[in-house]
């Protein structure tokens, strides 16, 4: 994963440290865009996955759009090279200031999640004498069978316009003074989806809803089907890049847009997760009666996913030798934070560890750095970029 030359350089750096493989990032984005281009599809990068300035610069240089969920994400996306005309703005709780920011930049579309939000956007657009382009987010009521904290497509979730509000939404948009232009329909079923049949079911739902709108005289320019593509967390070296060819082929096979309708995607994790690793040193080893603890200098403050929803990340020893690799010890790999949930993995088989050994917590390029906190008044993160 990391060459000997780079590892020697990293050994001089202070940990915890986020290591980013920029060549892998570029290859991933290039692959995804090439496969999307085969069918004329459009990609928006989900900025919430990783908004490190260097990462944003690399992705924007590849010529794709951005999917933002806050006003500051919009500002950062524009500042680091994304075209405002290729930005979509999602989220159930957009503030007035954030809406005004998006309007000033002239973004592609607001993904609207309620009738009340639609009215607020319309009112602010009129006050600013600007056009607000909107896409109505519809909850497809599809169970993606992922952790309930990252499921978004069920009726019980907070996301999406309720069905009984749709007619009222269309009526308000149709009002001459609304300040709104309907440009799309938006769907999203969840995250870390590795079962392609979920996306087939999504296509069929989108077809139904598209027909519902067409029957009422609305052929919207954009069908935004969201993202949610999962990655291989268990074997990141075996499958460093998602099978984007198969992913987009599902939509080409089962989605039936009308002539002239564009199909847009919002991809985050699948673009950046495997390019990033959290590197951490062993502080102490506690060999107990029933458990052996490897206590690291990184914790849930640097990578929250395992503590938040029991996410799995492969853990590798970067300082193991051929001799130490011949046998393994079972460890609880934990951090220094004053919380029992501060654990990166249980029953992890690793070469015998000692104080100072360097570990890599893999596939941390998405929802890693961006969710970091200063809880326990932790030191700011350190970085290393492989060019």
pLDDT per residue as tens digits for the range 42-57: 999 999 999 999 999 9
Domain match, 236 and 287 both: no
Q: pLDDT tens across 135-158, in order?
A: 999 987 664 444 444 444 444 555
- Domain termination residue (choose one: 254, 273, 292): 273
Of 246, 273, 300, the one marking the end of a domain is 273
Say what the pLDDT of residue 322 is.
65
Question: Residue 101 is part of a domain; what is its CATH number?
Answer: 3.20.20.10
pLDDT value at residue 25:
98
Residues 64 and 144 in one domain: yes
- For the beta carbon of residue 136, count every other beta carbon within 10 angstroms: 29
Shared-domain flag, residues 245 and 299: no
- Please provide the distance, in angstroms rounded to a whole number, between the alpha carbons at the two ends of the chain: 14
pLDDT at position 157, please?
57
- The answer to whether 274 and 235 are in contact (CB under 8 A) is no
Examine the domain organization and report whether 98 and 127 are in the same domain: yes
Is 364 found in the same domain as 298? yes
Same domain, 286 and 224: no
Does residue 233 share a domain with residue 379?
A: no
Burial class (CB in 10 A: 0-12, 13-18, 19+), 92: middle
Q: pLDDT value at position 152?
A: 43
Number of domains in the chain: 2
Q: How much is the pLDDT for 156?
A: 53
Residues 249 and 310 in one domain: no
Which phi and psi (to 5°) does residue 245 adopt?
-60, -45
Are residue 263 and residue 279 in the same domain, yes or no? Answer: no
Q: Could you read off the pLDDT of 96-113 as tens digits, one per residue?
A: 999 999 999 999 999 999
Residues 302, 196 share a domain: no
Question: Are residues 295 and 236 both part of a single domain?
Answer: no
354: CATH: 2.40.37.10
Q: Which residues contact 280 (CB under 8 A, 6 or more apart)?
A: 15, 16, 17, 296, 297, 298, 302, 358, 359, 361
- CA 299 – CA 186 distance, rounded (Å): 36
Ranges of residues in the chain whose predicted pLDDT is under 70: 141-159, 176, 322-325
Question: What is the domain extent for residue 124?
Answer: 23-273
Q: Of 273, 296, 325, which residue is a domain's last?
A: 273
């Amino acid at each position: 994963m990391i060459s000997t030359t780079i590892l020697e350089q990293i050994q001089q750096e202070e940990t915890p440290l986020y290591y980013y493989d920029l060549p892998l990032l570029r290859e991933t984005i290039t692959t995804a865009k090439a496969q999307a281009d085969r069918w004329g599809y459009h990609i928006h990068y989900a900025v919430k996955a990783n908004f490190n300035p260097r990462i944003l610069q690399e992705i924007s240089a590849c010529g794709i759009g951005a999917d933002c969920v806050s006003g500051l994400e919009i500002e950062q996306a524009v500042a680091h090279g994304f075209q405002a005309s290729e930005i979509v703005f999602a989220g159930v709780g957009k503030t007035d200031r954030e809406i005004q920011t998006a309007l000033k930049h002239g973004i592609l579309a607001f993904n609207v999640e309620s009738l009340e939000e639609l009215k607020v956007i319309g009112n602010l657009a009129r006050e600013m004498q600007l056009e607000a382009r909107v896409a109505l987010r519809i909850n497809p009521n599809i169970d993606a069978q992922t952790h309930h904290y990252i499921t978004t497509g069920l009726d019980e979730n907070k996301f999406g316009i309720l069905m009984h509000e749709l007619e009222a939404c269309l009526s308000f948009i149709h009002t001459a003074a609304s300040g709104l232009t309907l440009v799309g329909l938006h769907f999203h079923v969840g995250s870390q989806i590795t079962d392609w049949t979920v996306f087939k079911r999504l296509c069929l739902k989108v077809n139904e809803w598209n027909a519902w709108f067409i029957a009422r005289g609305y052929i919207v320019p954009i069908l935004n089907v969201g993202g949610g593509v999962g990655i291989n967390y268990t074997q990141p070296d075996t499958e460093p890049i998602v099978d984007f060819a198969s992913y987009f082929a599902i939509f080409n096979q089962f989605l039936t847009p009308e002539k002239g309708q564009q199909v847009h995607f919002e991809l985050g994790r699948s673009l950046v997760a495997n390019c990033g690793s959290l590197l951490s040193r062993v502080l102490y080893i506690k060999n107990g009666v029933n458990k052996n603890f490897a206590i690291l200098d990184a914790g849930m403050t640097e990578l929250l996913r395992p503590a938040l929803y029991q996410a799995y990340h492969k853990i590798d020893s970067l300082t193991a030798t051929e001799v130490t690799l011949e046998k393994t010890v079972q460890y609880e790999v934990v951090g220094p934070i004053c919380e029992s949930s501060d654990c990166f993995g249980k029953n992890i088989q690793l070469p015998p560890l000692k104080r100072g050994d360097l570990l890599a917590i893999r596939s941390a390029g998405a929802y890693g750095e961006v969710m970091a906190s200063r809880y326990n008044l932790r030191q700011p993160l350190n970085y290393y970029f492989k060019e």
